[in-house]
Amino acid sequence: MGFYLNLFKSKTKPIRRNLLYYNGLIYFEVIKKIPAGWFEKIGNLIGFEAYHLFYYERNLSVSQLKKYLKVNEKTAKNITKEMFCNFAKSFLELFNIEKLISDESNIQVENIDILMKKYQEGKGVILVSGHIGNWELLVSYFANKGLPITVIMRSIYDDRLNKVIIDLRNKWGIESIIRGDSSALGKMKSVLKNKRVLGLLIDQDTNVPGVFAPFMGEPAYTPKAPAQLSLRFDIPVIFAYTYRVGNKKHNIVIEDISYARTGDEEKDILELTTILNKKLENAIKSHPEQWVWHHRRWKTKEE
């Protein structure tokens, strides 16, 4: 959820942040009262406006689509418009997730048995995904099924909004760990020691320990925690993502991850991270309009 709110971040005057925060609380209450059946049309309207309003993000998305998917200008712009619309719909859904996931007709799941079998091994599970589709719905769906789940979250520009996010996830039955906190790694180990599901997103160029692994044909600085924890503590890892198929309708795909370690930890971490990046890349190429192309994914370069 922090990814949505960081679009509106302000590093300037506190008074502007206060205005954004209190206006945001009002908007949240209004959104809660919107019937879920309206999200498709309202999301398309908001997405269309965002496409024109956020010109930097729009231009970056178009540029990266042309470079990494090898599409022409017109196609890149159309995908970017759809991306903003999906983004808006996912944000609207945040405050109605409980209703959405409680209706089984809204969610179709492929290979749920893979996740359940891994969890029943009693070691904990590392669930890897990316910012594709409605990623908040993904973990809330699993929590609703009774899986104890903890996610790693990005701290956003306002501590009050961080609390809003954490409280909302707690309501869904999801625990949160702030990424970048000095105690984050210890907390992740504790989550797995307690045989919980640990959810991590690996498609952001962030200031955390990582490796340069291929992604869309170019080295991308990728968090190494999923691979490192899996290999060091023999924790099963799976890849999962969600994509939108219609108004309120979502598909969840779960894929098993297997890797034969060599005994060389650095090599194994890179290879397993590469496998995870490839899974995500394939998902994005299947549904390019549902990924966050306006993020500077390849910002950090190898020295």
Please write the tens of the pLDDT for every residue from 265-277: 999 999 999 999 9
d(CA 69, CA 217): 10
Question: What is the β-pairing status of strands 197-201 and 125-129?
Answer: parallel
Q: What percent of the chain has pLDDT over 90?
A: 65
- pLDDT of res. 9: 52
> pLDDT per residue over 195-239, tens digit each?
999 999 999 998 889 999 999 999 999 999 999 999 999 999 999
- pLDDT of res. 160: 74
Domain extents for the chain?
Answer: 2-290
Higher pLDDT: 150 or 154? It is 150
* Residue found under tokens 């956003």: 156
The Cα-based distances of 29 to 33, 96, 100 in angstroms read: 7, 11, 18
Higher pLDDT: 225 or 4? It is 225
Per-residue confidence band for 4, with pLDDT thresholds at 50, 70 and 90: very low
Per-residue confidence band for 21, with pLDDT thresholds at 50, 70 and 90: low
CATH classification of 2-290 is 3.30.450, yes or no?
no
- pLDDT of res. 22: 66
With a cut of 50, say whether residue 190 has pLDDT above it: yes
Residues 6+ apart with CB under 8 A from 13: none
Per-residue confidence band for 10, with pLDDT thresholds at 50, 70 and 90: very low
| Residue 248 DSSP label | T
With a cut of 70, say whether residue 6 has pLDDT above it: no
**pLDDT mean over 152-160:** 73
**pLDDT mean over 33-52:** 87
